[in-house]
């Protein structure tokens, strides 16, 4: 029980760091002179440095009632939600698999998948700085023999994960004169394939396309020809696979 509690606390702390990644990485890619560690955390509205006691995951947001202490601007509830999500994911995976290499591998993947999903939803970007470690991690875990598939299957699935949507996108372009899928989504499928293998990769592709279509039509109300972020949907399906398989 103590191990699970510790894992939950670690998840919340890592979730706090992932909030930094989600906020700053797109800015770094756009050329802003910041890094993940400098300057210190600040309010996006008034840019006043955040005091250390206001950096406690979830608790600080609640104590501040979701507002900056200095300018009283609203602090997005997404910050504590990400921290709660990571705490829940860490706790669940640890409770299911214990302190094992498989647990460490899955948690590593989740720490990359969650910020990828949120960044894509915000900016329609899937940064290579997160994508390549996800792909390399899947292949390395498989090669080390602690993954869910063999290294041969991981390599084949990674290749198929890129080639299959690339081919479909090219066919789509022939008929519609525009790309049907971004390269970032193709890389994402390649990375996911390295983790789950080719049999479950097809499940991810099919389920994510259905989920994306339903959300686009019913929730986002995307118009014909309008682009929308696709990455969160295969990531949601992949996270479900990690949690329940």
What percent of the chain shows pLDDT beyond 90? 61
What percent of the chain shows pLDDT beyond 70? 94
Structural domain that includes position 92:
1-98
**Pair (72, 115) in one structural domain:** no
Q: Domain boundary at 98, 114, 147, which?
A: 98
**Pair (128, 233) in one structural domain:** yes
Q: Domain boundary at 58, 78, 98, which?
A: 98
Confidence of residue 173 (pLDDT cuts 50, 70, 90): low
**Pair (130, 104) in one structural domain:** yes
Run of H or E residues at 19: helix 2-29
Residue-wise pLDDT for 64-102, tens only, equals 888 887 788 888 899 999 999 999 999 999 999 898 999
**Pair (145, 104) in one structural domain:** yes
Could you tell me if 184 and 131 are in contact, meaning their C-beta atoms sit under 8 angstroms apart? Answer: yes
**Pair (67, 126) in one structural domain:** no
**Pair (163, 205) in one structural domain:** yes
Mean per-residue pLDDT for 19-30? 94
Residue-wise pLDDT for 99-152, tens only, equals 899 999 999 999 999 999 999 999 999 999 999 999 999 999 999 998 889 999
**Pair (43, 116) in one structural domain:** no
CA distance 121 to 236: 12
**Pair (234, 121) in one structural domain:** yes
pTM strictly above 0.75 = yes
**Pair (104, 91) in one structural domain:** no
**Pair (6, 86) in one structural domain:** yes
CA distance 84 to 78: 10
**Pair (109, 216) in one structural domain:** yes
Q: Any idea which residue has 């921290």 for tokens?
A: 83
Domain count, the chain: 2
* SS3 readout for the chain: CHHHHHHHHHHHHHHHHHHHHHHHHHHHHCCCCCCCCCCCCECCCCCCECCHHHCCCCHHHHHCCCECCCCCCECCCHHHHHHHHHHHHHHHHHHHHCCCHHHHHHHHHHHHHHHHHHHHHHHCCCCHHHHHHHHHHHHHHHHCCCCCCCHHHHHHHHHHHHHHHHHHHHHHHHHHCCCCCCHHHHHHHHHHHHHHHHHHHHHHHHHHHHHHHHHHHHHCCCCCCCCCCCCHHHHHHHHHHHHHC
Q: Domain boundary at 98, 120, 144, which?
A: 98
Whether residue 197 has a cis bond before it, omega within 30° of 0: no
**Pair (77, 111) in one structural domain:** no
Residue-wise pLDDT for 49-61, tens only, equals 777 777 888 988 8
């Amino acid at each position: 029980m103590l191990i699970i509690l510790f894992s939950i606390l670690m998840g919340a702390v890592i979730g706090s760091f992932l909030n930094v990644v989600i906020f700053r990485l797109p800015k770094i890619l756009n050329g802003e002179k910041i890094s993940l560690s400098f300057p210190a955390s600040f309010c996006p509205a008034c840019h006043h440095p955040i005091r250390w006691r206001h950096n406690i995951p979830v608790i600080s947001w609640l104590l501040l009632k979701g507002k900056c202490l200095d300018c009283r601007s609203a602090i997005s509830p997404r910050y504590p939600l990400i921290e709660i999500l990571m705490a829940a994911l860490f706790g669940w995976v640890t409770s299911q698999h214990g302190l094992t290499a498989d647990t460490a591998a899955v948690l590593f993947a989740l720490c990359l998948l969650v910020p990828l999903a949120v960044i894509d939803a915000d900016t329609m970007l899937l940064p290579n700085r997160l994508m390549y470690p996800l792909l390399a991690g899947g292949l390395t875990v498989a090669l080390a023999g602690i993954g869910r598939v063999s290294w041969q299957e991981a390599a084949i699935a990674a290749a198929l994960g890129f080639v299959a949507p690339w081919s479909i996108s090219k066919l789509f372009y022939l008929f519609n004169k525009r790309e049907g899928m971004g390269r970032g989504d193709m890389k994402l499928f390649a990375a996911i394939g390295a983790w789950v293998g080719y049999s479950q990769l097809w499940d991810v592709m099919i389920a994510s396309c259905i989920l994306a279509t339903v959300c686009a039509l019913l929730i986002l109300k995307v118009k014909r020809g309008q682009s929308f972020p696709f990455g969160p949907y295969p990531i949601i399906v992949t996270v479900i696979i990690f949690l329940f398989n």
